Structure 1
Amino acid sequence: MPNLPDVVLWSIPAFVLLTVVEMVSYRFRPDEEEQGYTARDTGTSLGMGLGSLLFDAGWRIPILAVYSALYELTPLRVPVLWWTVPLMLLAQDLCYYWSHRGHHVIRILWACHVVHHSSRHYNLSTALRQPWTGATSWVFYLPMILAGVHPAALAFCSSANLVYQFWIHTERIDRLPRPFEFVLNTPSHHRVHHASQGGYLDRNFGGILIVFDRMFGSFAAETTKPVYGLTKNLDSFNPLRVATHEYVSIARDVARATGWGDRVRHLINGPGWQPGTIDRPEGTAA
C-alpha cells in the first residue's frame, strides 16, 4: 500500500491564508448583500474546527479497526494506481452524497451535521465549523471497503473531498462558467445547501460533484439570495452547546415520548417530526 499524504493536514496553512485573504477582502471591498465576518461567529467556527481535529483522532481508532477487519475478510483488492485513484474518488463522492443526504433526513445523524449549518454567516471560516461527533458517517463507506479499497486509500479520498469543499464556502465567488456549474459542486450550489428557506432546504448534497444531485432529484439552482443558518437558529456561540444542542433536544423529546414507537421515531424520522405529524419529506426539515 503506497504511503498516501494527509491531505487535510497539508492544507491547513492554505485554509488559514485564504481565510485571512477573504477577511481582508471584506475590509477593502465590503458588500452590503454579503454576510462577511463577525468576531464571535468566526471564533466559534474556528473552535469547532480545532475541536473536531481532536475528537476525530479518537473516533478514528474504532472506525479503522472495523474497516481493517472487514478489509481482511473480503477477497477483493483495488490497487492504488494512477487510473484507480480517480475511480476511488468518484466512488467516495457517491458514498459521501448518500451519507450527506442521510445526515439531513435522519434526526440522530442530523444532530451531528447540524453543527456545520449552525452559522448564520457564509464564509471560509464556516467550512471549518465541523462536528465533534463525526463517527456517524463510517457506515456509508462500507461498500468501498468490502469492494477491496484499502482503508488508507479511503481516508485519502475522504480528505481530498473535504479539502475540495473548503473553497466553496464563500459569497465572494459568483457563478462559474456553465460547464463547471453543471458538473462540479461550486460556491453557488453550496450556498443553496446552506440556505434555510423554501425550496433550498435539503438540496445539493454533493461533495466534489453536483451530478449525483442532478441524477437523484436533489438539485436546486441558486435563484434568490440565500438566508443562512437553521429554520430555528441557535442563539449561542458556546462551542460545547453548538456541538451538543440537537442531542439535548432529542434526549428531551425521547424522555417526553409516551411509547417506544415515538421514541424510535424521534431518532430516525426527519428533524421536524413530532408525534401526530406526518414525517416531513426532504426539503422541509432543518
Structure 2
Amino acid sequence: MLELIAWMESTFGAHIDWKQVILVGLSPIFALSFMLEWHFMRKRKSPEYMKRQFAWMDTFTNVSLGGAYQVFELIVHVVFVGTAIFWFWDQRFFTIPINAWTIIPIFIAVEFCYYWFHRTSHRVRWFWTAHVVHHTGEQMNMSTAMRQSMLYPITGWWLFFMPLVLLGVHPAVVFILYAVDLGYQFFIHTESVGKLHPWVEYVFDTPSNHRAHHGRNPQYIDKNYGGVIIVFDRWFGTYEEEQEQVDYGVATRQIKSHNPIKLNFQEFIDMWKDVLRPGPIGQRIKHLWAPPEYVRPSDEVNIEK
C-alpha cells in the first residue's frame, strides 16, 4: 500500500485528500445503490410512503449538500489541512509498517478515533455546528448519507485522527481507512433493511442501529456513535437498540429548510450570536464548548421569572 501511496504522491503531490478521492470514486456505486433502494422500496411500500420518504426535494438537497461538502473539503485540504496533517506526521514518534498484521488494528484505531469525533460532534456545540447538517434530514434513505456540512474542515474533524499520525501511521493510510469507514456508512442510511442476526447487531453498526442514532425520540438522542462497529458504544454506555418507530431530525432546533446555505451556516451563526449576546464572559464563551442544548444560568432565571 505504501508503495502505491508514494507513487501517487510523487505524481500528484504529497497533500492528496485521500478521503475525498475515494468517496468521489465510490459515487457511481452510491448512486446505483440509491436507485436500487428506491426500486426495492417502491415494490414494498405505499405511494404515500414513497412520496414522503423519497421526496425529490429532500434528495436534491442531500445531493447538493454532499457535493458542496466534497468541493469545499478539497479546497481547504489544499490550502491548509494537508499541510497541517503533514506537520503532525513530521513530529511522529514511530513509523508503523503497513502489512497484513497491522492493517486491522489500525482500522479499529481509526474507528475508535471516529467514535470520539462523532460523540464530541454531538456534545460540543463548536463541532455540532457542522454535524447538525447531517441530522436535519427528517426522512431516511441512502441519499441522507450525503447530507454533510461544508464546515467540517473548519471546525477541525481531522484533529481527532492526529494521534494516529503522531504514533506513526501514515496520513494516507489513516484517511484511506477512514474513507472505507464512511463508505460503509452510506449503506446503513436506509429503512430497506430490518434487524439482522443478533450477533451482527451486537458487533456492527447496522441500518437498525444507525436509524436509532438519527432519532429525536428521547431514548435515541446521542446514542450509537459507531461507524462500522458498535462495540465502543456498548463499552462506553452510548448504545441504544432500535425499538419504537424512529422520528428523524434534530431534537434541539430543527432547521426547516432546503436551502444548502441556510443548512450549512444557520447553527454556526446562531452559536456566535449566543457568544456575542451581553452577559458574563464565562457564560458567553461556554456556548463554544457546551452541549447544543446549553442555556446560560442567567437565561434560566429570566425564564423562571
Report the TM-score, using the length of structure 1 for normalisation.
Answer: 0.93
Displacement of 1:33: 6.9
Q: What is aligned with 2:110?
A: 92
- Radius of gyration: which is bigger? 2
Query: Within 1, Cα distance between the matches of 2:299 and 2:205?
Result: 32
Q: Give the structure 2 partner of residue 104 of structure 1.
A: 122
Measure the CA separation in 1 of the matches of 2:60 and 2:233.
Answer: 32
Q: Which amino acid aligns with 1:217?
A: G
Partner of 1:64: 82
The normalised TM-score by structure 2 is 0.87
**How far apart are the structure 1 equivalents of 2:248 and 2:3?**
41
Q: How many angstroms does 1:277 deviate by?
A: 7.7
C-alpha distance after superposition, 1:37-72 (max 9, x if no partner): 101111100000000110110222322212212212
Tell me how far apart the structure 2 counterparts of residues 146 and 249 of structure 1 sit (CA, whole Å).
35
Query: Secondary structure of 1:2's match?
Result: helix
Residue equivalent to 2:241: 221
* Partner of residue 284, structure 1: none
Q: Which residue of 2 is the match for residue 51 of structure 1? A: 68
Amino acid at match of 1:77: T
Partner of 2:285: helix, strand, or coil?
helix
Conserved 8 A contact 1:23-1:37: yes
Aligned CA RMSD, in angstroms, stands at 1.8
The answer to whether the aligner puts 1:207 opposite 2:227 as a matched pair is yes
Mind listing any 5+ residue stretches in structure 2 that lack a counterpart?
A: 6-17, 301-305
Cα deviation for residue 245 of structure 1 reads 0.9
The structure with more helix, counted as a fraction of residues: 2
Q: Report matched runs for 1:1-286 at 5 Å.
A: 1-3=2-4, 6-31=21-46, 36-61=53-78, 62-135=80-153, 136-231=156-251, 232-276=253-297
**Cα 1:102–1:186 shift into 2, 3 Å:** same
Contact 1:169 1:190 in 2 (8 A): yes
Report percent identity of matched pairs: 32
Code of the aligned partner of 1:188? S
- Once residues 246 and 225 of structure 2 are traced to their aligned partners in structure 1, the CA distance between those partners, rounded to angstroms, is 16
- Which 5+ residue runs of structure 1 have no aligned equivalent? 280-286
Instruction: State the AA in 1 paired with 2:258.
Output: F
Question: What is the distance in 2 between the residues matched to 1:98 and 1:205?
Answer: 8
Shift in Å at residue 29 of structure 1? 2.2
How many aligned residue pairs are there?
279
Please state how far the C-alpha of 1:28 moved relative to its aligned partner: 2.6
Distance 1:175 1:278, change over 3 A: farther
